[in-house]
Amino acid sequence: MTHASSQVPERAASRRSDEPSLLRLAGFPYFLIAFIARLPFAMMVVGVLTVVVAARGSLSLGGLTSAAVGLGTACFGPLLGAAADRFGQRGVLSALALANGAMLVIFTVVVYGPGADGFVLLAAAGIGATAPQVAPLSRSRLVTIIRERMPEAARTRTLSGTMAYESAADETVFVFGPFIVGILASALAPWAPLVGAAVLTVVFVGAFALHPSGRHVSQERDADGKAPSAVADLFRPQLLIVVLGILGVGMFFGAMLTGLTSFMADRGAPEQAGLLYGVMGVGSAILALGVAWLPPAFTLRARWLVFSGILLAGTVLLVFVDSPATMMVALAIMGIGIGPTLVTQYSFGAARSPLGRSATVMTMLGSGVVVGQSIGAAVTGEIAEQIGTAPALLLPILAATVTFGAGLANWVLSSTGPRSSRTAP
């Protein structure tokens, strides 16, 4: 009896070791390619702003141009996600890699040409419309692999860890993206970041599209590629509240970076804004990775409220900052809240995706971040230029309030709304 019972843990351990991990299923090259392929997307908004200000000499036009990129993404991002759900990611992303690379080059030519400002805005909208949203499509691809190829017992924790990694990767890219733009613009020319983004898009987004995992279409689709869920399921309150919450996060990113730049410009060191912003970004990425190890008893809806509350508390400190040192303290507190909040929102998006529409939902959320970032940067920049830094620093507080308020609404909807067709959070 003792001998037989001692073999049970050994067999269980053997089964666990035989279970396929996500790293084994997707392959390490996948994660490397997907990470680099995100960089052009993170460089676009800042790169567009930089080249417009340099070529046209108008900060106001630069803000409007960045907003036009966000508008193009908002209008076409979810449609491209729906196309990826319907036909698979490989063909859609291959076409987008070429189209977006061309639009980045066309935009650069238009900005330096004699054309009217309207053509600049139109070309910027074209950049947003063709933007290959690698991050949300990577989430969709990995979620599909987890649900269809991993043992059920391992799915919940693997899904949580995957959302944590993806958000940490986003945080890292959105910190280094503007940094790379600054280096290329300073060392070469203001147009260099956009040309560099075009090359990265064609090479690495193309590689991401051609990766073997890109051939996969969800098993939830029928032989004709149709989803078992209705389009109306994308507009359920339980899903729309997640979109609103992540829009608030995007607004915070745009408003905080722009307000911080104005804050440091008042002290004669605008180039140091990126370094201070990194204090928040690095802390946020580390905390985002830590979300995977939080106990299941700390539910998703509770995490949204707790961490968005920390974010809101950190933004309130902006009213009292009077030096780079106190600004660093406020940014460090915000970093504790923003990363886990973003992870939680994407986890809700994965859990509440209608059957066969995960890429659509993830691109809706990804578009929400970009649109919010564009709105936050444009509005905050205009206020900073026309009124001053102190009023501009109220915008991150407003954005954090939107995120926290959406968390409150989500708490109610999570307890009273219909259960998701997927694993409920």
Fold classification of 27-416 (topology level): Growth Hormone; Chain: A; (1.20.1250)
Q: What is the pLDDT of residue 218?
A: 53
Cα separation, 205 vs 297, whole angstroms: 38
Q: Are 344 and 304 in contact (CB under 8 A)?
A: yes
Q: Centre a 10 Å sphere on the Cβ of residue 289 and count the other Cβ atoms it contains.
A: 19
Q: What is the pLDDT of residue 19?
A: 60
> What are the pLDDT digits (tens) for 351-362?
887 776 777 888
Closest C-alpha to 127, from 46, 188, 243: 46
243 vs 367 pLDDT, higher one: 243
Which residues have CB under 8 Å from 136's CB, separation 6+? 81, 359, 362, 363, 365, 366
pLDDT band at 271 (very low <50, low <70, confident <90, very high): low
Q: What is the pLDDT of residue 231?
A: 64
For residues 218-244, average pLDDT: 69
Side chain identity, residue 311: L
For residues 83-102, average pLDDT: 88
pTM to 2 decimal places = 0.75
Q: Provide the b/e sequence for 56-78 (b: ≥16 CB within 10 Å).
A: beeeebbbbbbbbbbbbbbebbb
Q: What is the pLDDT of residue 217?
A: 56
Q: What is the pLDDT of residue 399?
A: 96
130 vs 23 pLDDT, higher one: 130
For residues 202-224, average pLDDT: 73
Which residues have CB under 8 Å from 201's CB, separation 6+? 37, 40, 97, 100, 101, 104, 132
The answer to whether the Cα torsion of 91, 92, 95, 96 is positive or negative is negative
Residue in this structure with the two tokens 């970041």, named with its chain if needed? 193
Q: What is the percentage of the chain residues whose pLDDT exceeds 70?
A: 87
> What are the pLDDT digits (tens) for 40-60?
887 887 788 778 878 887 767
User: Alpha helices of 88-191 — where are they, by DSSP H?
Assistant: 89-112, 117-129, 134-149, 152-187
pLDDT of 229 over the 60 cut: no
For residues 323-351, average pLDDT: 89
